[in-house]
Each structure stands twice: as C-alpha cells, then as structure tokens.
C-alpha cells in the first residue's frame, strides 16, 4: 500500500467513524453493533497510523546502520 492509498483509507475510515458516532448519538445510547463496528474501525486506523509511523522512521534512519551498536 503506497502512501496516497494509506491516506485515502485513513480519510475513509475517519468519515465512517464520524457517521457511526452520529448514528449512535441519535439513538441516545450506545448500541452494541455500532460499538463493535467502531472498534473495528479504530483498530484499522491504529494499524494504518503505525504503518505510517514506521515508514517515516525508515526514511529517517540511514540504511545499514539502523539499530547497530558498537561494543568496545
């Protein structure tokens, strides 16, 4: 998944999350099925954010030298 696909999916999930929260608010109480779907959306968003964070770390770390420690 390239960066633009990741960003598009994040936007799509955020919009879906917002719609679910509005739907839950209209009912006046948490609904189990909506809460389960919100958990799925939240999990996928967290995974996408983590993927982006790791990609940024890889671009900032010089290749071949990442996590190398010299022991004298």
Q: Which two tokens stand for residue 52?
A: 């982006």
Sequence-distant (6+) residues with CB within 8 A of 1 are 9, 51
Spatial distance between the Cα atoms of 37 and 58, rounded to a whole number of angstroms: 32
Q: Token digits for 4? A: 């633009």
Per-residue 3-state assignment (H helix, E strand, C coil) for 20-54: HHHHHHHHCCCCHHHHHHHHHHHHHHHHHHHHHHH
pLDDT tens digits, one per residue of 23-58: 988 887 678 889 999 999 999 999 999 998 888 888
Q: What percent of the chain has pLDDT over 90?
A: 44
pLDDT surpassing 80 at residue 70: no
């Amino acid at each position: 998944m390239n960066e633009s696909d990741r960003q598009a999916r994040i936007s799509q999930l955020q919009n879906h999350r917002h719609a679910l929260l509005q739907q839950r608010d209209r009912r006046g109480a948490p609904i189990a099925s909506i809460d389960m779907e919100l958990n799925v959306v939240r999990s996928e968003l967290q995974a996408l954010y983590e993927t982006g964070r790791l990609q940024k770390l890889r671009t900032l770390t010089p290749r071949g030298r990442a996590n190398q420690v010299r022991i004298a």
